[in-house]
Structure 1
Amino acid sequence: MRKFTTESLVRSAMLAALYVAVTLAFEPVSYGQVQFRISEILVLFAFLDPMYSIGLTLGCAIANMFSPLGIMDVLFGTTATFIAIMLIVQTRKSLGFNVKSLFVASLWPAVANGVIIGIELNYLFQLPLLASMVYVAAGEVVVVSIVGVLIFNAIISNKKFVEMMTIR
């Protein structure tokens, strides 16, 4: 892994702050059994550069501090996002930097959050397990795999922007 520099720290902090701000701006749909966490689109920055992983995970942890699920969401929600981010990074390493691998990578947040948050909602609120998993995963697919991939497809086709967003 590359060395963590001042540039990577600043960029990661900015992305963490953006994740928190977007989550809180869309707070009514950011938490709960049926959620469309718009800020999850940002996890695709880990596809551009794995150095964004720390900022994204930290942003998720801070955003989850405002969750009605409390500390449980900080622990489990952040873990789900971290797992998804690591799988996004691994997908790019395995399949390359193209639209197909971007789409495959975009499915990991649906899987990780669907399973982990579904279990969390079932445990905390006795909501039906399978329904909770499906609702959370569906929200992630809509936000990350449909909207996020459309946005990031445009981003990855712009070589100058990709170069600018890559941490040196």
Structure 2
Amino acid sequence: MRKFSTRDLTLAAMIAALYALLSCFSGIFGLAYGPLQFRFSEALCVLPFLFPAATPGLFVGCVIANLLSPYGPLDIVVGSLATLIAALWTSRMKRWYLAWVPPVVCNAVMVGFTIAFAETGATAALPAAWIYNGSTVGVGELGVCLVLGSLLLRLMPQIKFFHDFIPEGRLHAA
């Protein structure tokens, strides 16, 4: 496991702050929480493909954003873990154009469950609610990560400023 440099910690902190800010911005439009989510901050979830140091920043930013969640402690824990697992998985992806898959899958399954459980509890309605909420969360996540996230992955390596942050093997993979 590689050590995080001061630069890595700074990048992680900036991503955490940006994730929380963009989630609040999405919340203004009613898009941050609920069955149909379109959190602009989720576009950042593809960044571990380029910047492994983005992983802790995404997790911390998601914890902060989920403190405002109407689904309470369950969303703070499960929703934030979904982001952490997705970020770790994304950092291990081999192709940039597949970096959207982990956040979509993790959020559809884990956040879909969180919302379904909050709505139905441990009742017979839970599986149907989970499928419904997982599908709607997944569609919103797909829109953000595939469209906005892919745009980030294509543009950031072209900006010279980011070259120092992107590991050599990833700079040309994107």
Confirm whether residue 111 of structure 1 aligns to residue 105 of structure 2: yes
Q: What is residue 13 of structure 2 aligned with on the other side?
A: 13
More helix by share: 1
Displacement after TM superposition at 1:59 (Å): 0.6
Letter in 1 for 2:32: S
Could you list the structure 1 runs, at least 4 aligned residues long, displaced by more than 6 angstroms after superposition: none
Q: Secondary structure at the match of 1:29?
A: coil
Q: What is residue 4 of structure 2 aligned with on the other side?
A: 4
Q: What is residue 163 of structure 1 aligned with on the other side?
A: 163
Displacement after TM superposition at 1:166 (Å): 3.1
8 Å contact 1:48–1:162 — kept in the other structure? no
Change (3 A) 1:162 1:14: closer
Structure 1: stretches of 5+ with no match in the other structure = 96-100
In 1, Cα distance between the equivalents of 2:119 and 2:59? 25
8 Å contact 2:100–2:146 — kept in the other structure? yes
Displacement after TM superposition at 1:68 (Å): 0.8
Q: How does 1:22-101 map to 2 (within 5 A)?
A: 22-27=22-27, 28-91=30-93, 95=94, 101=95
In 2, Cα distance between the equivalents of 1:90 and 1:164? 20
Q: What is residue 135 of structure 2 aligned with on the other side?
A: 134
TM-score calculated relative to the size of structure 1: 0.87
Q: What is residue 98 of structure 1 aligned with on the other side?
A: none
Letter in 1 for 2:7: E
Displacement after TM superposition at 1:119 (Å): 1.1
* 121-130 vs 29-38, which moves further: 121-130
Letter in 1 for 2:101: L
In 1, Cα distance between the equivalents of 2:150 and 2:37? 18
Displacement after TM superposition at 1:116 (Å): 0.6
In 2, Cα distance between the equivalents of 1:151 and 1:166? 13
In 1, Cα distance between the equivalents of 2:11 and 2:90? 19
TM-score calculated relative to the size of structure 2: 0.84
Across the aligned residues of Structure 1 and Structure 2, the Cα RMSD in angstroms comes to 1.6
Displacement after TM superposition at 1:43 (Å): 1.5
Aligned-residue sequence identity (percent) comes to 34
